[in-house]
Structures are given as structure tokens and as C-alpha cells.
Amino acid sequence: MNERIKELLMKVPRLNDMYEVGPVQQAAIEDFAKLIILECTGVVEGGNFLHEQAPTAIFARECSSTIKRHFGTSD
């Protein structure tokens, strides 16, 4: 499981003992977290910009890439 996702999971009171969460549940939690990350970065990337080379569009793509790198998901 991705380390950052693990760290965040430890902050969930009912799931903070990873020994009580089996490997199937861990994989499902990680997949769910990745879907949320992709959904959020999709919102950033899908903004209505004047054109693809506008500074705001370039900034949005950089923000999206930074978020994906932070959580260890691929571009």
C-alpha cells in the first residue's frame, strides 16, 4: 500500500490498526483512494481554460502532476 495512503488511513479512528484490516481490504482502500485522487486531478485538469497554453492551463497541469506524484500515482 502507498505510504502516504497508509499514513492517512492511520488517522481514521476505526481503521487505525492495520493488523485488523486484511490484505483484500487494504487493496480496496488503496484503489478507492487512487480513484479519489484521479477524480480530483481530473477536475483540476478539466477546467475551462482559454487555450491549452494559457498560464492557468499550464499551472493546472503542473498542480495535477504534483498531486499525483505526492500520492505515488502515475500520470
What was the pLDDT predicted at 36?
A: 93
Model confidence, pTM: 0.70
What was the pLDDT predicted at 50?
A: 54
For residue 11, pLDDT over 70 is answered with: yes
Number of domains in the chain: 1
Cell numbers given for 74: 502515475
- List C-alpha distances in Å: 9 to 27, 33, 46: 12, 10, 28
What was the pLDDT predicted at 12?
A: 81
**pLDDT tens track for 12-71:** 877 666 567 778 888 888 899 999 999 888 888 877 665 667 788 888 888 889 998 888
SS3 content of the chain, % helix, strand, coil (to 5): 70, 0, 30
Task: Report the distance separating Cα 38 and Cα 28, nearest Å.
Answer: 15
Domain that holds residue 38: 3-71
Task: Report the distance separating Cα 73 and Cα 36, nearest Å.
Answer: 11
Cell numbers given for 10: 492511520
